[in-house]
Amino acid sequence: MSPIIGIDLGTTYSCIAYLNGNKPEVIPNLDGHLVTPSAVSFTADGQILVGNVAQRQAVANPERTVTAVKRLIGRKFDSPEVEEAKKRVPYRLVPASNGDVMIAIDNQIISPQEISSLILSYLKACAEAYLGERINEAVITVPAHFNDHQRQATKDAAYIAGLEVLRVINEPTAASLAFGLEANKNCTVAVFDMGGGTFDITILEIQDGIFHVLSTNGDTYLGGEDFDNRIVAWLLDEFKKESGLDLSADKFSLQRIREAAERAKRELSFVLETEINLPFIAIDETGSKHIFKKLSRAKLEDLTRDLIWKTIPLIEQALADARLSPKNIDEVILVGGQTRMPYLRQVIAEFFNQEPRTGIDPDLIVAMGAAVQSGIIKGQITDLALLLDVTPFSLGIETENDGYQVIIEKNTTIPTRKTMAFTTVEHNQVRVRIHVLEGENPLASQNKSLGWFDLIGLEPAPAGVPQIDVTFEIDADGLLRVSAREAATGREQSMEIHYAAGLSRGEVAALKERHRPFALPGKK
Ligand code: AMP
């Protein structure tokens, strides 16, 4: 039986693990590192580079190196998150004909799914090289706040890479699974996950080997990169004061400064002071300019304190949604590299009035949890039988006068299936539009549109008489299927949502066909 790999496809770094016996073990990449930068670079001579090698040459090739594509996957070109990305990334973003965001590399237009598939294909090749076996199946993790489009787009990326996704699970849930292997007791857990790009807080209840997510909350635009940006802004400011030169529009220098800033930030989790040395960062008529700057841990804390404190109201909301207070939390688990920052740990420890668990490496824990989930699927692990998750947003349909009828409430345990009866508003109406929405606002127009379909051929009848049963079904991966049925005739019409986003099935199949997998070392 070939192994199933667990994949943490992160914003900045990705990680793979498998189950060795019944213990999760992280698989090193082809460079021997346990985590792989989620970076893809297209060289001028047509090569595609992934991971460390892509990240290393990002400085020389910033416009053709795609990083943090997870911010873009399943999103619209004009969404606020993509607006924010446009300001930050050195590569070019363009709209697809359906409004999705795409990446332009020279004359090539590439979907975020394809970029992610290249990362996944590389990780698959790493696992195959390490285990000496073909890998066809995976459990893949996504942030708890990923909506239906983002989950589907992630699955599409895996499919293009030649991986069948057996299960999509939330990252904090995976972390708890990894942790649960060691903690065989009943407790309530808060998972604080701050990686490179996103922040999630999840409240879970673990009872007799069953993980039940009580609530999730977070900020899809709060992560380690924001900390890096604060250091970058400080360095630019200091450099401008000293040299009079503004490097903020110089993409090449900025990339170097960003890398140095991130390195300094990591070091300051272990030392109290570090130096940032960037020789020959600029040149003017007086000669070469350099950045030689000392940065202390205290200064870093000053620069980033508000970012850490921004998480507190989000945690309070998650606790309120779970009808709990900090004192009800038995364990706090930290996930994501940014949680290594001592001040962050201190703030979280004070909030929960307990030391967070740090026993498992915060960069590896999610992939390890995904590997545990693969063991549950294969029947290798039997003491953790079930995994329950919740919907991060309410889901419903548009009704009369911009109304919104929620069908599945936020924080409902999935998988779930709910049916609600609707009727017509006009006499002899032969068609109704089912407009599927996601969000919490009572006005339909203020929520996110997930798609729509028309139920046609209704029996002519006075307004309010026909009964149309609308069923929302969310599977274990968090993917939504909506169907409508006219009760009077009993005629069931199975309907597909025509998503206004994402790649079509045909496009995904064509990309899989074209996809060039990474050759295993030593194999032709
Ligand atoms: P992840 O997406 O979980 O791999 O998290 C990566 C983020 O964690 C990046 O923003 C890193 O800069 C950050 N990170 C990694 N190691 C450390 C560290 N020792 N101290 C602070 N931040 C770190």
Average pLDDT over residues 449-466: 88
Res 298 pLDDT > 80? yes
Burial of 309 (0-12, 13-18, 19+ CB in 10 A): exposed
Residue 498: what pLDDT? 42
133 is catalytic: no
458 confidence band (pLDDT: 50, 70, 90): confident
Atom of ligand 1 nearest to the CA of 197: 2
CA 373/CA 387 separation, integer angstroms: 9
Asked whether 256 and 282 are in contact (CB, 8 A), the reply is no
Which of the listed residues 221, 265, 270, 271 should we mutate to test ligand 1's pocket, taking the one with most ligand atoms within 8 A of CB?
A: 265
Q: Quick check: 388 pLDDT over 90?
A: no
What single-letter DSSP state applies at residue 132?
Answer: T
Return the DSSP state at 337. Answer: G
Give residue 209 CA to ligand 1 midpoint distance, Å. Answer: 30
Grouping H, G, I as helix, E, B as strand and the rest as coil, residue 323 is coil
Please, is 304 exposed, middle or buried when counting C-beta atoms within 10 Å of its C-beta (0-12, 13-18, 19+)?
A: buried
pLDDT confidence of residue 378: 81
Q: Give the distance (Å) from ligand 1 centre to CA of residue 336.
A: 6
SS3 of the chain: helix, strand, coil, percent, to 5: 30, 35, 35
CA–CA separation, 12 and 36 (whole Å) = 8
Confidence of residue 182 (pLDDT cuts 50, 70, 90): very low
Q: Are 233 and 248 within 8 A, CB to CB?
A: no
pLDDT in the model for residue 332: 95
- Residue 500: pLDDT band (50, 70, 90) is very low
Give me the domain span that covers residue 218: 4-222+311-390
- Whether 48 and 110 map to the same domain: the answer is yes
Least confident of 38-47, 56-65, 343-352, 396-405: 56-65
- The pLDDT mean for the chain works out to 89
**Ligand 1 pocket, CB under 6 A:** 10-13, 35, 195-196, 224-225, 262, 265-266, 269, 336-338, 340-341, 363
Distance CA 169, CA 153 (A): 14
Considering the domain architecture, whether residues 492 and 406 belong to the same structural domain is answered as: yes
Please give the pLDDT value at position 521.
43
Q: What is the pLDDT of residue 522?
A: 41
What confidence category does residue 207 fall into, taking pLDDT thresholds of 50, 70 and 90?
Answer: confident
Asked whether residue 254 falls in the same domain as residue 325, the answer is: no
Q: Which residue has the tokens 């029947």?
A: 379
- Asked about 8 being catalytic, the answer comes back as yes
Q: Is residue 514 part of a domain?
A: no
Inside any domain, residue 516: no
Q: 37 preceded by cis ω (within 30°)?
A: no
Task: State the Cα–Cα distance between residues 330 and 350, nearest whole angstrom.
Answer: 14
User: Does the residue 503 lie in any domain?
Assistant: no
Spatial strand order in the sheet of 101-105: 92-95, 101-105, 108-110
Report the residue among 52, 343, 363, 365 best suited for mutation to probe ligand 1: largest number of ligand atoms under 8 A from its CB.
363
Among 244-258, 340-354, 483-497, which is the least confidently predicted range?
Answer: 483-497
User: Domain check: are 87 and 137 in the same one?
Assistant: yes
Lowest mean pLDDT among 312-321, 402-411, 485-494: 485-494
Which residue has the least CA distance to atom 20 on ligand 1? Answer: 266
- What percent of the chain shows pLDDT beyond 70? 92
Yes or no: say if 36 and 10 are a contact pair by the CB < 8 Å rule.
no
Domain count, the chain: 3
Among 330, 362, 390, the domain-final residue is 390
Are the CB atoms for 229 and 264 separated by under 8 Å?
no
- State whether 70 and 206 are in the same domain: yes
Q: Which atom of ligand 1 is nearest to the CA of 362?
A: 3
Please give the average per-residue pLDDT across 136-160, as a whole number.
91
* Claim to verify: residue 141 and residue 37 sit in the same structural domain: yes
Strand partners, 66: 40
Show which of 268, 290, 305 is a domain's final residue. Answer: 305
User: Which residue's alpha carbon is at the smallest distance from atom 2 of ligand 1?
Assistant: 195
Instruction: Find tokens 């209704």 and name the residue.
Output: 458
Q: Note whether 478 and 454 are within 8 A (CB).
A: no
Residue ranges in 181-278 assigned as alpha helix (H): 224-243, 251-267
Q: Predicted confidence band at 386 (pLDDT cuts at 50, 70, 90)?
A: low
Atom number of ligand 1 nearest to Cα 14: 4
Task: Look at strands 164-170 and 137-142 and give their pairing.
Answer: parallel
Atom of ligand 1 nearest to the CA of 224: 10
Which residues, in sequence order, are bridge partners of residue 478? none
Closest C-alpha residue for ligand 1 atom 16? 337
Residue 123 identity (one-letter amino acid): L
Q: Which pLDDT belongs to residue 243?
A: 93
Q: What is the pLDDT of residue 496?
A: 55
Chosen domain end from 354, 369, 390: 390
Q: Residue 238 catalytic?
A: no
192 and 257 both lie in a single domain: no
Which residue, chain included where needed, has tokens 């065989």? Answer: 184
Residue range 322-329: mean pLDDT, rounded: 96
**Residues in contact with 9: Cβ distance below 8 Å, sequence separation at least 6, in sequence order:** 38, 70, 116, 119, 120, 140, 141, 142, 154, 157
Structure confidence at residue 523 as a pLDDT band (50, 70, 90): very low
Question: Rounded to whole angstroms, how far apart are CA atoms 273 and 5?
Answer: 39
List the beta bridge partners of residue 193.
Answer: 200, 335
Residue 512 domain flag: no
One domain, residues 377 and 408: no
Which residue in this structure is represented by tokens 């080997």?
209
* 389-402 average pLDDT score: 84
More confident residue, 519 or 516: 516
Residue 288: give its domain's CATH number: 3.90.640.10
Q: State the CATH number of the domain containing residue 28.
A: 3.30.420.40
- If phi > 0 it is left, if psi is from -120 to 50 it is alpha, else beta; for residue 231 that is alpha
Helix axes 148-160, 505-514, angle to 10 degrees: 30
- Residue 174 and residue 300 in one domain: no
Are residues 402 and 322 located together in one domain of the fold?
Answer: no
Q: Are 149 and 499 in contact (CB under 8 A)?
A: yes
pLDDT computed for residue 383 by the predictor: 64
Q: Is-catalytic flag, 496?
A: no
- What CATH number should be reported for the domain holding residue 468? 2.60.34.10
At 7 the pLDDT is 98
Given a cut of 70, whether residue 488 has pLDDT beyond it is yes
Residue 416 has pLDDT above 50, yes or no: yes
Same domain as 300, residue 230: yes
Cα(342) to centroid of ligand 1, in Å? Answer: 12
Higher pLDDT pick, 235 / 195: 235
Nearest atom within ligand 1 for CA of residue 337: 8
- Residue 346 burial (CB count, 10 A): 13
> Out of 114, 128, 148, 171, which one is annotated catalytic?
171
Helices (H), 198-341: 224-243, 251-267, 297-309, 311-321
Is the pLDDT at 502 greater than 70, yes or no?
no
12, 15, 258, best to mutate for ligand 1 pocket (most atoms within 8 Å of CB): 12
Distance 25 CA to ligand 1 centre (A): 20
> 510 lies in a domain?
no
Cα 12 to middle of ligand 1, angstroms: 9
* 92 and 234 both lie in a single domain: no
**Of the spans 176-190, 374-388, 452-466, 483-497, which averages the highest pLDDT?**
452-466
Atom number in ligand 1 closest to CA 270: 19
**Of 156 and 390, more confident:** 156
Yes or no: say if 91 and 101 are a contact pair by the CB < 8 Å rule.
no
CA–CA gap between residue 480 and residue 494 (Å, rounded):
14
Asked whether residue 6 carries a pLDDT value surpassing 50, the answer given is yes
Residue nearest to atom 19 of ligand 1 (CA): 266
**519 within domain boundaries:** no
Is residue 322 a contact partner of residue 190, using CB atoms and an 8 Å limit? no
Q: Is residue 335 part of a domain?
A: yes
Measured over the CA atoms of residue 150, residue 154, residue 159 and residue 164, the dihedral's sign is negative
Residue 176: name the closest of 211, 216, 214 by CA: 211
Cβ partners under 8 Å of residue 125, min gap 6: 30, 517, 518, 519, 520
The conformation of residue 39, written as its DSSP 8-state character, comes to E
Instruction: Give the helix/strand (H/E) hosting 482.
Output: strand 480-486
403 falls within a domain: yes
Catalytic residue among 128, 193, 205, 226: 193
pLDDT higher than threshold 80 for residue 191 = yes
Cα–Cα–Cα angle for 500, 503, 508, nearest 5°? 155
- SS3 category, 85: helix
